[in-house]
């Protein structure tokens, strides 16, 4: 595995006094949000957690001018659509949001005031967007969510030969493993990873409902073509995603304090509890 030079940004390798010093510097906390789920016959069930964690660590190293510390990945997400293939652990939404809320409460108690949620699992995208906005308001702190292969835009698809973007256990995700830890790829199983019935894939937008992966990717649980994967593509994918995340880390607009929309009197454009006409919203007596 190549030397990443990212150890200084790993939360779990810091002492409590070191983390307290980072909080005093208004360091950005980064939480990779991922999953534990099937990735076909050729990739480990740790794939999304592995990819998201590496993207976050490399981004923190690139944004050297921004103090940032990366938590270990949240390895359980919303993955019930993968359950029929085995190897999958899934949360429900209430628990998913509860874990994120617990992280927010903990880092606020530790003096941190900013949180970046770096998602690497498709099933987390919509619920994470809802959680981020709720947490932002509840804890009065900027909580920003993004997904690793969306944040870089079309640059990701430009690096791939057989697909327009990241799919599942595909050219992109397999390339990542080949670059970072090739020994984890069961190369002999790659020919068995091709979905035999691409017509079984479903298109949700603009209509939404639950689809399991037995409906979307019958037999193999794979969408995309891992035969086109290379370590070189994985290196380039990591670079473009990390650069895009580093740019977000530096974007001061993202890290402004949120508007206190629930503050008394805020509905009238005031933050002090007063209402139009000079009346006060404070109770009489």
Which stretches within the chain are classed as H helix?
A: 16-24, 47-62, 93-109, 125-139, 148-151, 171-181, 213-216, 231-250
101-130 confidence digits (pLDDT tens)? 999 999 999 999 999 999 999 999 999 999
Residue 278 covered by a domain: no
CA 104, distance to chain mean position in Å, is 15
Residue 256 covered by a domain: no
77-86 confidence digits (pLDDT tens)? 999 999 999 9
Give the position of tokens 């993955």: 79
pTM of the model: 0.91
**What is the CATH classification number for the domain harbouring 17?**
3.40.50.10310
Full DSSP string of 45-67: TTHHHHHHHHHHHHHHHH-TTS-
Residue 274 covered by a domain: no
Residue 271 covered by a domain: no
Give residue 276's pLDDT.
56
CB atoms within 10 A of CB 18: 11
The β-bridge partners of 274 are: 280
Residue 225: phi, psi to the nearest 5? Answer: -125, 95
Which one is predicted more confidently, 177 or 204? 177
Residue 29 covered by a domain: yes
Q: What whole-number distance in Å separates Cα of residue 89 and Cα of residue 120? A: 15
Residue 262 covered by a domain: no
Count of domains in the chain? 1
Give residue 265's pLDDT.
81
Residue 272 covered by a domain: no
89-99 confidence digits (pLDDT tens)? 999 999 999 99
Give residue 196's pLDDT.
78
Structural domain of 177: 7-250
Residue 61 covered by a domain: yes
**Cis status of the peptide bond prior to 168, with omega within 30 of 0:** no
Full DSSP string of 64-99: TTS-EEEPPPB--BS-GGGGGGSS-BB--HHHHHHH
């Amino acid at each position: 595995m190549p030397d990443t030079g990212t150890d200084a940004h790993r939360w779990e390798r810091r002492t409590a006094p070191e983390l307290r010093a980072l909080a005093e510097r208004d360091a950005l906390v980064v939480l990779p949000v991922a999953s534990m789920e099937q990735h076909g016959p050729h990739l480990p069930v740790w794939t999304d957690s592995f990819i998201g964690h590496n993207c976050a660590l490399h981004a923190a190293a690139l944004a050297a001018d921004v103090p940032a510390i990366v938590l270990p990945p949240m390895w359980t997400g919303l993955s019930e659509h993968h359950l029929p293939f085995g190897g999958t652990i899934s949360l429900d939404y209430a628990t998913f949001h509860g874990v994120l809320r617990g992280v927010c409460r903990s880092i606020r108690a530790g003096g941190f005031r900013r949180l970046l949620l770096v998602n690497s699992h498709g099933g987390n995208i919509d619920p994470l967007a809802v959680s981020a906005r709720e947490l932002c308001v509840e804890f009065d702190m900027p909580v920003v969510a993004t997904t690793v292969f969306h944040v870089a835009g079309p640059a990701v698809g430009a690096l791939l030969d057989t697909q327009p973007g990241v799919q599942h256990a595909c050219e992109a995700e397999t390339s990542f493993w080949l670059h970072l830890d090739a020994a984890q790829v069961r190369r002999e199983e790659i020919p068995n990873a091709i979905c035999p019935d691409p017509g079984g894939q479903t298109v949700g937008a603009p209509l939404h409902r639950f689809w399991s992966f037995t409906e979307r990717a019958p037999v193999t649980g794979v969408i995309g073509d891992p035969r086109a994967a290379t370590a070189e593509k994985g290196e380039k994918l990591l670079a473009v995603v990390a650069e895009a995340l580093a740019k977000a880390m530096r974007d001061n607009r993202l890290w402004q304090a949120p508007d206190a929309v629930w503050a008394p009197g805020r509905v009238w454009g005031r933050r002090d509890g007063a209402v139009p006409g000079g009346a006060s919203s404070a109770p009489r007596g």
